[in-house]
Amino acid sequence: MELVSSTKCFDGLQRQYRHDSDVLNCPMRFAVYLPQEAEEEKGHKYPVLYWLSGLTCTDENFSQKAGAQRVAAELGIALVIPDTSPRGEDVADDPGYDLGQGAGFYLNATQEPWKQHYRMYDYVVRELPQLVEQNFPVSERRAIAGHSMGGHGALVIGLRNPERYTSISAFSPICNPIACPWGEKAFSAYLGADKSSWEDYDAATLVSRASEQLPLLVSQGEEDQFLEEQLKPHALETAAEASGYPLKLEHHAGYDHSYYFIASFIEQHLCFHADYLLKH
């Protein structure tokens, strides 16, 4: 694991690392924010919020734009932000922004030419936490959150692995990808024509089937340009109501899909997770 950069921020350290991923078969970058106490209090371990970013993003978007470090430092929570997909000259790609590099959709691809590298689900669920927990002063208490495509990833990963996380949250998530253009394009390419396999990565479907329920917060801007065609929060809400899943879905008038929206409510999301991460 190679340290790429390190910057002091709110008395903590914002760092970026590079490592060779066995799961993705390529080098990967990820970012970590650690409160200052992590450097001073030997033996102290911090709970972790994993943040998954959206289409076209890298690990740097959230680190630089969300303003999460101040609150994370105050609460005593570490942040881990992976890249959104495998990358490199040997990694399959597509001219569209919504497929290929930068658009991993946090799934395990089963189709050529994607399946050799596009296994972001396994990377986020297993490989990255193992790497982080072996190398940083963090505990096995994890929460997961994300935005847009990353919101989809956070919902799916949290819903499918409730034993691994304390709580889930998302900003403007793709809630019903099996029934929206972004999801249909990506799932067709990565998973193939058998649509029954798509349901494993559809949050609305997973909520309706969940046998274990985690605290779940979703924030959606009402001026989001992707709201009706791509995000479909009503599908998630309908599924939660039918199954009795404790979803807290908040609509925010005037807000769009941008990081201005995330920055406006990231403190609420971090405090939401802290209520569960910091319980002993």
User: Which member of 21, 53, 63, 148 is catalytic?
Assistant: 148
Asked if residue 206 lies in contact with residue 160, where contact means CB atoms within 8 angstroms, the answer is yes
90 flagged as catalytic: no
User: Which member of 152, 257, 269, 273 is catalytic?
Assistant: 257
User: Which member of 83, 85, 224, 269 is catalytic?
Assistant: 224
224 flagged as catalytic: yes
- State the amino acid at position 167 in one-letter form: S
Q: Where are the alpha helices (DSSP H) in the chain?
A: 37-40, 59-65, 69-75, 120-122, 128-135, 149-160, 181-191, 203-209, 233-243, 259-277
Q: What are phi and psi of 205, to 5 degrees?
A: -65, -45
**What separation in angstroms does the CA of 93 have from each of 24, 88, 115, 238?**
14, 9, 12, 35
269 flagged as catalytic: no
Q: What is the largest CA-CA distance in the chain?
A: 53
CA–CA separation, 259 and 245 (whole Å): 28
Q: Which residues are catalytic?
A: 148, 224, 257
